[in-house]
Amino acid sequence: MKVLVRLTFLVLSVLVYSYQATKTGPDWWKSSVIYQIYPRSFKDSDNDGIGDLQGIISKIDYFVELGVDAIWLSPIYKSPMVDAGYDISDYRSIAPEYGNLSDFKELLEAAHKNGLKLILDFVPNHTSNLHEWFNKSVAREEGYEDYYLWNDGYVDDDGVRQPPNNWLSLWSFSGWEWNEQRQQYYFHQFSIQQPDLNYRSEKVRQEMKDILTYWLDIGVDGFRVDAVPHIYEDELLRDEPIVPDSGVDDTNWNYLNHIYTKDQPETFELVYSWRTHLDNYTNTVGGDTRMFMTECSSDMENLVKYYGNENGTVLGAHFTFNFYFLGINENTTAADLQSDITVWYQNLPSIYTFNWLTGNHDNHRVASKVGQSRVDAYNMLISFLDGVTITYMAEEIGQENGEVTCEQGQDPSAIKNCTTFNETTRDFERTPFQWDNSTNAGFNEGAPTWLPVSSKYLETNLQEERLASRSHYHVYTDLVQLKASLSAYNSSYIFVNSLLNNRLLEVQKALDDPHQSTYRLYFNTGNEALTVSLDQNYTVVIPSVNLAYTQGLTDNDLVLNSGDSVIIKVL
């Protein structure tokens, strides 16, 4: 069944945001495409089953081919790998399974030679319990006594030692762990092997600035800062209130309202100090802006604070991640998307920069969440909207979740309970990149891989999509090129509409260029075909893979089947 709608621009469009960008050209990151690499799963150069830096170096041409501006590496530091590298034992060394510092410098040189920026993950909230700082703190070595959050706890009426308060770990159960040697509890927001640093210590704050400087001196272009909201805790160690009717037991992190262990005022001040540090570095050394982006699963009020204050006199992160699209699924409506977009346009001051993403290493792959027919639509959406586009590796080819059993699993928070493994694991989205249809999808030369290669690699891989006349890969590269060309102009306004009982999403972008060009994105989020009858001639700029149109001028109605999407230029 086809449903016909005639769209008239001035009548149906709803203005949600208006701003004027700087015509002299924003800094490199403001309209960039940043490509996230999960190094362990990208490319294995030495056939040991684990991706590595030389593997990334071997694929530098691929990033150039995609047209992305920057590559961002998930943690590559020395680590016992309790939490896939987010438990760092040495911030200045490379994990041996990935290579060494010489390999990293080679990668950096190759990236810069090819016009790519390189961004490192920075994990400041905690270290590994094998870090020398923790060992020295346990031993109460002079100068390290307060590097971590230590407390005596108390002895209850039954003579049993108890932690100082009710704070919980994100991985469930108490966030406090008793250390027999020191005879005190230490606090950990994540696993017991990831003790939280104490940022009330001036020495800790300086250590972390020195680490940033170390990597800046080597030549990195910026940082993605992990788990930012958890950096500071309430100095008085007050109990957190219980969430009424949470539906979870008292060991689950969601049992408490985290008013004392998340988004503390001191955390914002710390982020502002890091921005000052990076800006001072750029101003002193010269070159392009060294940027940083913060990972914050917080409410909108706090997300905006991580950017800085409302008038920009105090600056924080260049941007903080927009996770509003992570919850998309095959039933997401146009109204849902309009709401997710509008909340950012309405709440983020116009001096700051948007960012858009649909996936990462902690969330199921887009193709598995929404289906192959909608992959192009979401890649269109995050590249068409103004600001930074962030792509998790292999989203450009529509790679789906892999197949991993609990016995094969590597996610420490999930393999503890095989009954709930399928619901909690992050392994599915971390399986190796599917390069071609050879052994192990071209990830390596055939050695057993750290996570199994998906059986779907024979039908979805880069080689096949390159050869196809139409594919997700080709749509993606066209989108990156379009984004680059449009970013040369100011977007004088953005319109977002939910039409036809929330089945049709329309995004209109008007450019302040000599031709006053207007581009429109249409996405049929419904389950039946729609016919969009336009009142002007238009050029199809980028059609989704299954759309029955090719690029070029047309005056016909647009027929969009379920999941179809298109970007057009109105003439």
* 302, containing H or E segment: helix 300-307
List 121, 196, 295, 427, catalytic entry? 295
Question: How many degrees, rounded to 5, is the angle at CA 448 between CA 447 and CA 454?
Answer: 115
Sheet holding 565-570, edge to edge: 15-17, 490-499, 504-512, 518-524, 565-570, 538-543, 552-554
CA distance 465 to 43: 18
Residue pair 59/42 in contact (Cβ under 8 Å)? The answer is: yes
Q: What are phi and psi of 173, to 5 degrees?
A: 70, 180
Is residue 295 annotated as part of the catalytic site, yes or no? yes
In the three-class reduction of DSSP (H, G, I as helix; E, B as strand; rest coil), residue 570 is classed as strand
Q: How far is CA 101 from the centre of its chain?
A: 25
Count of CB atoms situated within 10 Å of the CB of 88: 27
Q: Which of 136, 39, 45 is nearest to 81 (CA)?
A: 39
Residues 6+ apart with CB under 8 A from 532: 5, 7, 504, 522, 557, 558, 559, 560
List 83, 97, 177, 226, catalytic entry? 226
Residues 6+ apart with CB under 8 A from 230: 125, 170, 189, 196, 261, 262
Q: How far is CA 509 from CA 191, 371, 506, in A?
A: 45, 27, 10
Q: How far is CA 404 from CA 87, 420, 445, 544, in A?
A: 23, 13, 20, 30
CA distance 217 to 221: 10
Q: How far is CA 284 from CA 160, 273, 279, 281, 452, in A?
A: 56, 16, 8, 5, 47
Residue ranges with strand state E in 418-554: 490-499, 504-512, 518-524, 530-534, 538-543, 552-554
Task: Write b or e for each residue in 351-384: b if 16 or more Cβ atoms lie within 10 A of its Cβ, otherwise e.
Answer: ebbbbbbbbbbebbbbbbbbebbbbbbbbbbbbb
CA distance 469 to 318: 38
Residues 6+ apart with CB under 8 A from 389: 32, 33, 34, 355, 356, 357, 382, 383, 483
Cα torsion 215, 216, 218, 222: sign: positive
CA distance 477 to 136: 50
Is residue 362 annotated as part of the catalytic site, yes or no? no
Residue pair 438/398 in contact (Cβ under 8 Å)? The answer is: no
User: What are the residue numbers of the active site?
Assistant: 226, 295
